[in-house]
């Protein structure tokens, strides 16, 4: 980001700054430059001389501006990293509530506590937390590793700042999915078709109702009704764009899904949600039985292959002496 760039254009100096408040200081220190073409300042000869005289005085201001921007930038990155999968600021509800004006709906100390330890607040039976849980289809807020009260406060500052400049927009409208997209999503889910950036197939960690064989993985949650739990296409899209979990975040940080893959998987999950079953049937009994049969078959095979192996020494000698 450019804090200060000075260039020559038609014998005039143009001051390009990143933030309005820094530009205001330039206006004061440079004896009132006029504005042309938006937020860029174009200085005349007198203003140029004034700026050259006062440029040393700008250095502390610019350094202060840079130091103040660091926490705000960190908060913005943290919001996009851990909050945007379930929340918007003025874009409507996803699986979690729209956070525009959240500081006006709840006490700041409560919000900081909830951001730092959502599981603890829910376990305490807090009525407002229980209300949020019910409105979120019983999907609890995921705790963020390493979250501190200071970082939570910075995130709230960022939300408040965005709430003041963001105009509430109607929710994003996602076009209906096609049968072809659902079929393609099934291939991605099962691993029949690899993901472009090399991410693992969903079935490695998740299962669905109706899967054949031993079903899917059990490391992650059952996804049979996830389309409904995450409030439809918008919620699923936001999650797949930025999955927030201890396992998925590091895996997909460098192997993110493409827009085509997200739509295809969303279509397949929408189709899976139409199943009458709430969850996939447990496959533990069949898996255990299959293991026993396989072990018996392997032991039988080894016994046949090594049927002429050396078995004993003393017993054949004793039996031979009795003849």
What percent of the chain lies above the pLDDT cut of 70? 76
Q: Which residue range is the domain that position 250 belongs to? A: 179-272
User: Given a cut of 80, is residue 231 above it in pLDDT?
Assistant: yes
Asked whether residue 201 falls in the same domain as residue 126, the answer is no
Contact between 155 and 112 under an 8 Å Cβ cutoff? The reply is no
Contact between 268 and 182 under an 8 Å Cβ cutoff? The reply is yes
**Range among 50-64, 80-94, 158-172 rated most confident:** 80-94
**Is 129 inside a domain boundary?**
yes
Asked whether residue 187 falls in the same domain as residue 267, the answer is yes
Instruction: In whole angstroms, give the CA distance from residue 152 to residue 69.
Output: 16
**What predicted TM-score, i.e. pTM, was given to this entire model?**
0.67
Mean pLDDT of the chain: 80
Asked whether residue 160 falls in the same domain as residue 222, the answer is no
**Is 16 inside a domain boundary?**
yes
**Is 90 inside a domain boundary?**
no
Asked whether residue 184 falls in the same domain as residue 161, the answer is no
Asked whether residue 183 falls in the same domain as residue 231, the answer is yes
Asked whether residue 54 falls in the same domain as residue 123, the answer is no
What are the pLDDT digits (tens) for 241-287?
999 888 898 889 889 999 999 999 999 999 999 988 888 777 666 66
What are the pLDDT digits (tens) for 180-208?
999 999 999 999 999 999 999 999 999 99
Q: How, if at all, do strands 41-43 and 34-35 pair? A: antiparallel
What are the pLDDT digits (tens) for 159-183?
999 998 877 778 888 999 999 999 9
Instruction: In whole angstroms, give the CA distance from residue 203 to residue 166.
Output: 39
Give the burial string for 52-76 (b: 16+ CB within 10 Å, else e).
eeeeeebeebbeebeeebeeeeebb
State the pLDDT at residue 283: 67
User: Given a cut of 90, is residue 313 above it in pLDDT?
Assistant: no
Asked whether residue 58 falls in the same domain as residue 123, the answer is no
State the pLDDT at residue 49: 54
**Is 60 inside a domain boundary?**
yes
Domains in the chain, number? 3
State the pLDDT at residue 122: 95
**Is 93 inside a domain boundary?**
no
**Is 173 inside a domain boundary?**
no
Asked whether residue 42 falls in the same domain as residue 10, the answer is yes
Instruction: In whole angstroms, give the CA distance from residue 132 to residue 152.
Output: 18
Closest CA to 205 of 252, 144, 155, 270: 252
Asked whether residue 196 falls in the same domain as residue 244, the answer is yes
What are the pLDDT digits (tens) for 105-161?
999 999 999 999 999 999 999 999 999 999 999 999 989 888 999 999 999 999 999
Average pLDDT over residues 35-59: 52
State the pLDDT at residue 128: 95
Chosen domain end from 255, 272, 289: 272
**Is 224 inside a domain boundary?**
yes
Instruction: In whole angstroms, give the CA distance from residue 105 to residue 41.
Output: 40
**In this structure, what DSSP letter does residue 18 have?**
S
Asked whether residue 196 falls in the same domain as residue 260, the answer is yes
State the pLDDT at residue 153: 94
Apex 204 CA angle, 198 and 206, nearest 5: 120
**Which two structure tokens, joined as six digits, stand for 42?**
């174009």
Chosen domain end from 257, 272, 287: 272
Contact between 121 and 114 under an 8 Å Cβ cutoff? The reply is yes
**Is 174 inside a domain boundary?**
no
State the pLDDT at residue 45: 58
State the pLDDT at residue 61: 53
The SS3 of residue 30 is coil
Q: Kindly provide the residue ranges of all beta strands, DSSP E only, lying in 10-156, ordered along the sequence.
A: 12-16, 34-35, 41-43
State the pLDDT at residue 281: 74
Residue 243 maps to which CATH number? 1.10.760.10
Confidence class for position 18, pLDDT limits 50, 70, 90 = very low
**Which two structure tokens, joined as six digits, stand for 136?**
């979120």
Q: How far apart are the first and last CA of the chain?
A: 99
State the pLDDT at residue 1: 38
Average pLDDT over residues 211-238: 89
Instruction: In whole angstroms, give the CA distance from residue 271 to residue 118.
Output: 32
State the pLDDT at residue 35: 41
Asked whether residue 192 falls in the same domain as residue 259, the answer is yes
């Amino acid at each position: 980001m450019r804090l200060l760039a000075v260039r020559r254009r038609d014998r005039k100096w143009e001051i390009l700054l990143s933030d309005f408040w820094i530009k205001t200081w330039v206006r004061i220190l440079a004896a009132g430059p006029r504005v042309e073409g938006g937020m860029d300042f174009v200085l005349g000869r007198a203003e140029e001389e004034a700026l050259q005289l006062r440029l040393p005085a700008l250095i502390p201001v610019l350094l202060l501006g840079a130091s103040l921007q660091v926490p705000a930038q960190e908060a913005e990155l943290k919001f996009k990293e851990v909050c945007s999968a379930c929340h918007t600021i003025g874009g409507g509800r996803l699986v979690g509530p729209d956070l525009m004006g959240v500081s006006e709906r709840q006490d700041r100390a409560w919000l900081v506590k909830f951001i730092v330890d959502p599981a603890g607040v829910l376990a305490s039976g807090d009525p407002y937390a229980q209300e949020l849980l019910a409105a979120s289809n019983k999907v609890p807020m995921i705790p963020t590793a390493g979250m501190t009260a200071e970082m939570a406060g910075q995130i709230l500052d960022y939300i408040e700042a965005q709430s003041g400049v963001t105009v509430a927009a109607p929710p994003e409208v996602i076009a209906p999915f096609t049968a072809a997209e659902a079929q393609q999503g099934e291939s991605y889910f099962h691993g029949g078709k690899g993901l472009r950036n090399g991410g693992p197939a969903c079935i490695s960690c998740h299962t669905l109702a109706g899967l054949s064989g031993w079903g899917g993985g059990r490391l992650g949650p059952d996804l049979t009704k996830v389309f409904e739990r995450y409030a439809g296409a918008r919620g699923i899209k936001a999650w797949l764009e930025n999955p927030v979990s201890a396992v998925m975040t590091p895996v997909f940080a460098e192997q993110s899904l493409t827009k085509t893959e997200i739509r295809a998987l969303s279509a397949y999950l929408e189709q899976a949600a139409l199943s009458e079953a709430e969850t996939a049937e447990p496959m533990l009994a069949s898996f255990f039985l299959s293991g026993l049969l396989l072990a018996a078959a392997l032991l039988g095979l080894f016994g046949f292959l090594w049927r002429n192996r050396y078995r004993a020494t003393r017993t054949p000698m004793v039996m031979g002496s009795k003849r």
